[in-house]
Amino acid sequence: MRRQLQFAAVAATCLAAGACGSDEEPVAAADDAPSHNLTAHPALPDAPHWTYDEAPEWGDLDEQYAACGTGERQSPVDLAGAADEDLADPVLDYQPFELTVTDTDHSIQVGYETGSTLTLDDAAYELVQLHFHAPSEHTIDGKPAAAEIHFVHGDHDGPFVVLGVLVEEGPPEAAMNDVLDHLPVGTGDADAGTFFDAAELLPDSLTAYRYEGSLTTPPCTEDVTWLVLDEPVTWSAEQLARLTARYDANSRPLQDLHDRDLLLDQD
């Protein structure tokens, strides 16, 4: 699939993705596997556990989560009514790397090694990790997509840029099988022993909705530029079912846009 990206030379040959609908059992977490359970925010001291059922009360769980309840630049939001504006597309330079899949107890996550970047408005942000929500967190006219991928860029101190990709049911995405075929049995990491290229999960176009928001999980930090791509990707019904067999309601409710600008890039 042709994509509007700028890529550095591939340093290694990627192994072919597994067949869709594989009956392969989830991979046990390797005891000596390197941890790629990176998040977009440093671990908070003594931060309490949270669940998606508690989402409306996240701000009351702990003072470190206060922004979840009192912030006025929170995410996700409904993307309807965006104003058209001519904006520069982000420039992506994603490198293949050795795949490790993590179950964080909140989502399925792929941690990324250093060396892959997103450049936006002349500033470069390192790709830290990507993870999956089902159904999508962002909606259009109140309607969610089947799933959403979040590509998290930045460092532990912020600011962050999160690239969101909506997923609809349709033809399968072969690269997604690399993730689904190597889910750890429980929480923790599983080393897949294969190379993975996050760019394979992107659509052709990088035309995006853009707004200033927050992380969609505690502590709901409000230093995030959101780019939600206008063009969705497709996964098969079986691929979506394999994801939702693990997490089928890990989406934060919509937040009020307040007085923020919501823009849609026009080519």
Catalytically active residues, by annotation: 106
| Adjacent-strand bridge partners of 148 | 133, 166
User: Which tokens belong to 98?
Assistant: 């050795």
**What one-letter code names the amino acid at 163?**
L
- Confirm if 196 and 178 have CB atoms less than 8 A apart: yes
Cis peptide before 45 (omega within 30 of 0): no
Closest to 95 measured CA to CA, from 234, 208, 200: 200
Q: How many CA atoms lie within 13 A of 95 on its CB side?
A: 16
Please, what's the b/e burial string for 145-174 (b: 16 or more CB within 10 A of its CB; e: otherwise)?
Answer: bbbbbbbbbbeeeeebbbbbbbbeeeebbe
Helix, strand, coil distribution of the chain in percent, nearest 5: 15, 30, 55
Dihedral sign of CA atoms 102, 106, 108, 112 in order: negative
